[in-house]
Structure 1
Amino acid sequence: MEFLRPATWREALAVKAAHPEAVPLAGGTDLMVEINFDRRRPEILLDLTRVPELRAWRAEPDAVRIGACVPYRTVIDRMATELPALAQAARTVGSPQIRNRGTVAGNLGSASPAGDAHPALLVAGARVEVASARGTRSVPVEEFYLGPKRNALAPDELIHSVVVQRATGPQQFAKVGSRNAMVIAVCAVALALHPDTRTVRTAVGSAAPTPLRATGAEEFLTGVLAEGDHWATGRPPPPAAAARFAELVAAACSPIDDVRGSADYRGHAVRVLARRTLDRAWRARPTPTPEGAPA
């Protein structure tokens, strides 16, 4: 096994262009497990941890740009206000040691349907910034997942950063597993309220071949909130509407039976998590100021 360790981004892209089969290494929390259990034996490893700009992150006016080697621990400690759902998801990842090494970009590169970061990225409207020696491009996160463990990267491309829109309202993330910590999700749901556009976004992980948004459920709930003037009054959506929303979220999924849970259980759990994240997010909204009263 050949081990290549570029010191600059330009070097990294040149190496990837010359060796498209090279497997990127950042946190290594997925890759090293596969190597240790002899499930994968890459001929070339491309270690990106020396590239300074991949370890950096910065807040932009409307978004946060997260370098490909920024660990979950930094997301938790530094971005919880701007990216609440992603920070909540990051807290559920593995152990403290894993959170100190694992990265959001690594989750994207692995493209596992059970990746914890995916639902949070979907509801936040993230974009994946990728590059090669040929140039750069920005991929909406919805278009990045092509299938189980398949992503939209070309053979000579690397993830440079993930650009995640700042929250404009409450966000929630919840997942179900076989225990409370250090567990792969049986299913996961994220939800974001966007008061500026009076819309809702919700996404599901580990309940379909790829992480997905439940757009039918989003459109239904957005209509309910508009029709009942809930954004202005602060009244929660009626229980029947919340239940219908949860059903539509589950209907968007196509779960399977596997060692972590049955398809029926996943469907039930998605409905519960959809109701739970909606309730928590709505209760976290600021109390509306009565019309004419001082703010």
Structure 2
Amino acid sequence: MDFIRPATLAEALRAKADMPEAVPIAGGTDVMVELNFDRRRPPALLDLNGVGEIAEWSEVDGRVRLGAGVPYVRVIGELGDRLPGLAMAARTVGSPQIRNRGTVGGNLAAASPAGDSHPPLLASDAVVEVASVRGARTIPITEFYLGVKRSALEPDELITAVVLPPADGPQQFSKVGTRNAMVIAVCSFALALHPSSGTVGTGVGSAAPVPLRARDAEDYIAGELSALWRSPAPLADSVLRRFGELVGSAARPIDDVRGSAAYRRHALAVLARRTLGWAWHDYCEGKVTACA
């Protein structure tokens, strides 16, 4: 197995073009597991740790551009106020060692439906930036996931960044696992309130072949909140429960060793109901939930 170590993004893209089968590695928190268990044996690893262009974040035209190589620990420490939902999800990833190495870019590249960063990216309507020697393009997050561990990336492309708006209202993230920490999600859910547009974003993880949005639930709760954005009032329990039911019905789960399909639907309904309650309470109190 070859080990390719480019120093710039241009060198990395050229290497990927010359050998599309080369597997990118940054934190290695997913790739090394597959190598250690002999689930994958690529002809080469493309080490992106020396590529400085993907290792920073910035604000461009009022949006946050998060480089694919920025580790979770920096998302938590530096972006908890701007991207609270993503920062909350980052806090649930693995151990401190994993959060020091793992990246949102790597989570996207793996395209596992259980990835913790996917639901908040969906809830915030993120856009994925990718590049190759042929040029750069953007992919809406809802079009990025094609199947279990399959994405819209072409063989010669690398993820360079993910772009999303800073929070304009409270955000939440919750997940259920077989234990409290260092666990793959049985199911997960993210919520983002967007009072500036009168909309609500959702993201469902580990409950379908791909991460997805609960569109019917979004439309329902946006209608319920339409008269409340300017004059906030507590939500009726029936509204919270109906929102949870719609989120649960959006899922397409399976039975596996971590949980049954029925349990996942039930758990998602509970997560959705609770996260909406927390987020709306924060909105009524005039807070934009921060994670720091």
SS in 2 for 1:284: helix
Q: Is the 8 A contact 1:57 1:65 kept in 2?
A: yes
Which shifted more, 12-21 or 85-94? 12-21
- How far apart, in 2, do the equivalents of 1:156 and 1:231 lie? 45
The residue number in structure 2 matching 1:265 is 263
Alignment RMSD (CA, Å) = 0.9
1:284 shift after superposition: 0.9
TM (normalized to structure 1)?
0.95
Deviation, structure 1 residue 61: 4.2
1:26 equivalent in structure 2: 26
- Choose between structure 1 and 2 for higher RCO, CA contacts under 8 A separated by at least 6 residues: 2
Cα deviations across residues 22-69 of structure 1 (Å, max 9, x unaligned)? 100111000001101111111111001101111111123422111111
CA distance in 2, matches of 1:257, 1:134: 42
Partner amino acid for 1:37? Answer: F
Cα distance in 1, alignment partners of residues 96 and 272 from structure 2: 27
Asked if the contact 2:94/2:181 (under 8 Å) is kept, the reply is: yes
Please state whether the residue corresponding to 2:70 is helix, strand or coil.
coil
CA shift for structure 1 position 236: 2.4
SS state at 1:42 partner: coil
The one-letter code of the counterpart of 2:54 is: L
> 2:233·2:284 contact (CA, 8 Å) conserved in 1?
no
Question: Aligned partners of 2:78, 2:108: CA distance in 1, in Å?
Answer: 20
| Structure 2 counterpart SS, 1:107 | helix
SS at match of 1:12: helix
C-alpha separation in 2, matches of 1:82 and 1:44: 37
Are 2:272 and 1:274 aligned? yes
Q: Which moved more, 1:178-187 or 1:52-61?
A: 52-61
State the distance in 2 between where 1:161 and 1:54 align. 7
Could you tell me the percent identity over the aligned residues? 62
Structure 2 runs not aligned, ≥5 long: 287-292
Does the CA-based 8 Å contact 2:54-2:67 persist in structure 1?
yes
Q: Which runs of 5+ in 1 are unaligned?
A: 289-295
For 1:76, give the aligned amino acid: I
The one-letter code matched in structure 2 to 1:128 is V
TM-score of the superposition, structure 2-length normalised? 0.96
Trace 1:107-146 onto structure 2 (pairs within 5 A). Answer: 107-146=107-146
String of CA shifts for 1:265-292, please: whole Å, max 9, x gaps.
101100000001101100111547xxxx
User: 1:293 maps to what in 2?
Assistant: none
Q: 1:230, 1:237 within 8 Å by CA — same for their partners in 2?
A: no
Partner deviation per Cα, 1:80-139 (whole Å, 9 max, x = no partner): 000000000000000000000000010000000000000000011111000000010011
The residue type paired with residue 229 of structure 2 is W
8 Å CA contact 1:3, 1:44 repeated in 2:
yes
Larger radius of gyration: 1
**Contact preservation (8 Å) 1:123, 1:190:** yes
